[in-house]
Amino acid sequence: MKRLWVILFVVPLIVPGFAQHTIILKGLDKSGFPLEKTSGKAEIIEKDKTIRIKTSKGMKFYSFNDVKEVVEKDGTIIWSYEEYNALLLNQALIFSPHRVIVNTQTGRIHQSGVLHLPDSLYQKEYGFKDLAVSDGFELCKACFDSRPDIYDYDLEKQLTTQSIIAIKNRNEIMYEHERLEFLSEMMSSVLNRWPEPLKGYSYRLQIIRDDSPNALAIAGGNLYLTTGLIDMVENDKELEAVIAHEIAHVERRHTLRSFKVFQEKQLGARAIILLMATLAAASGNPNVEALSQMTKLLAEYSTVLAVKGYSRELEMEADMFAQLYFQENELNKRNLLTVFDRLATYSSTRLGYIPETNAFSDHPSIRVRIKRVTDGSFYTLPEPIIIKLAPVGILNTRWEGPITDQPPIKPKEHLSQKEKRIIESVENNFISIRIDRFYKAPSINSTTKNELFLLGSIKNNVSNHYTLKGMQLYFPGKSGVTPLSGFTDINIFAGGNAEFIGRLTLWDFLSESVAEEIINKHLLGYVSVSQISLDKEKKIKKGGQVTQIASLIIVE
């Protein structure tokens, strides 16, 4: 009894000592999402280059390079990047984690403490690696991680390896083809003018000996064109169109994305979430059973990809980005259309003789794609729409009342203990969505409707795993509530991100004003999200997929 008293007495004393700092963060993080203000107790650890902020909902970590200042509530600056930078450069800090050494003979930049440094005669010191890079030196591959800084990169790399094997097994690659050098240069030129920031893959173009015109791109930047395709075109600009389309497959990560769909078909949605979450949770200490299951799936999928290519949806997405490349570089869209027409004509004149291995063999689908490219166009937003998700309650999935811009949520008194716990643990901006552009085209299925495609990425900002079940958008006085189709069951694991494309189907007379609302960032609506919870054995807890967190869309 006495002990309990002590505890009760101590706790209120600790709380006022928990000093709150307002943390001001600058710029964009690596996925292009803006950093934001946060508050909590900041712990600045110069050795690890991190600023740790203890909030009421757990620790958050920020890199020195992202944070501009740490400010007290009264405005006092307790840490600033500039000051820290200056101290480093003046060598005033005894321990400098940022210091690098350049080998002036090879031009390579190394970490300061390693054993493979050159003789001191050939050493040049810098306070920061970025300074050495801007002086034209190159990062040592051992000292610095040069892999693209993107989520799921390791999984994608395994997909690349397996797919290369599958393609090599079925095709003859022509390493000495006379057009190889020309086409590789053309590919570099397309990459240099690519309309989006490149993810950092290393690209390679190869030619396959095959009479039927075809092209394929796989994860990691491997592009394949057949001799049949090269012989079929009449002008090189058409090959530029094909290359742009193939690069879009790589940059939009279509191998990875279709692998995830394939996984789900093979194992079922629940099992795959379990498998992915097991691997994500166990990084560094991989679960052997989950790993071997994954390896088996990778091999199976790669064969399917080599034979069937991508789905019609992904082909259309690649067409959109090829079109964007043409649009942004003021190139003539006609070259995109003529190469499609050649492919469509080719397959119609040989109907019945098209082997399954041809990704372009689906003749009606090429005609649809031609129509889409002819009539559709891209709108790049003056500035991206950044959406933060703000949890408001647990979605009432049995709601049958009127649909409004507010999500139907369960009354607080009807929530189970578990639901209460979930909703209390989710913080504002746990997920953010970034939309850079949209694409508008007449509907393929209806002459009185238009389709608006929103393209962007989603980021999970916290340490829980989530599945996005759907997004409902609302344009007041215009379309009412419209679901964003294609935006379903997107899994994003802790700290990860994912590309998305969502489609709004609208009556002709509404589409113009809805497009305007998007440009003006007048977006209302909500997203339903379910939390993937794991227990101690890293198994999904029952019901983890049923509870849906209703989150309002907050546009920056």
Residues that bind Zn ion (CB under 5 A): 110, 140, 142-143, 315, 318
8 Å CB contact between 485 and 505:
yes
Q: How far is the CB of 225 from Zn ion (least distance, A)?
A: 12
Q: Is the CB of residue 378 less than 8 Å from the CB of residue 321?
A: no
Contacts of 546 (CB under 8 A, 6+ apart): 397, 530
Residues 523 and 387 sit within 8 Å (Cβ to Cβ): yes
Residue number, nearest CB to Zn ion: 140
User: Distance between CA atoms of 155 and 153, rounded to whole angstroms?
Assistant: 5
Which residue number, 110 or 469, has a Cβ lying nearer to Zn ion? 110
Least spacing, CB of residue 180 vs Zn ion, in Å: 20
Residue closer to Zn ion (CB basis): 305 or 518: 305
Task: Give the shortest CB-539-to-Zn ion separation in angstroms.
Answer: 38
> Does residue 453 contact residue 436 with C-beta atoms inside 8 Å?
no
Q: Which of 320, 331, 310 is nearest to 436 (CA)?
A: 320
Rounded Cα gap, residues 59 and 324, in angstroms: 41
Beta strands in 7-151 (DSSP E): 21-25, 38-45, 50-55, 58-63, 67-72, 77-80, 100-103, 108-111, 123-126, 138-139
Q: Which is nearer to Zn ion, 308 or 449 (CB)?
A: 308
The span from the CA of 423 to the CA of 171, in Å, is 53
Residues 6+ apart with CB under 8 A from 181: none
- If the CB atoms of residues 190 and 426 are measured against Zn ion, the closer one turns out to be 190
CB of residue 490 to Zn ion, shortest distance in Å: 22
DSSP one-letter string for 422-447: HHHHPPTTSEEEEEEEEEEEE-SS-T
Q: In the complex, what is the shortest distance from the CB of residue 14 to Zn ion, in angstroms, rounded to a whole number?
A: 45
CB of 305 to Zn ion, least distance (A): 11
In angstroms, give the least distance from the CB of 384 to Zn ion: 26
Question: Of 140 and 506, which has the nearer Cβ to Zn ion?
Answer: 140
Q: How far is the CB of 324 from Zn ion (least distance, A)?
A: 15
- Alpha carbon 126 to its chain centroid, in Å, reads 33
Which of 318/373 has CB closer to Zn ion? Answer: 318
CA-to-CA dists, residue 415 to 124, 390, 402, angstroms? 63, 19, 22
**Closer by beta carbon to Zn ion, 286 or else 355:** 355
Q: What share of the chain is helix, strand, coil (3-state, %, to 5)?
A: 35, 30, 35
**CB nearer to Zn ion: pick between 249 and 437:** 249
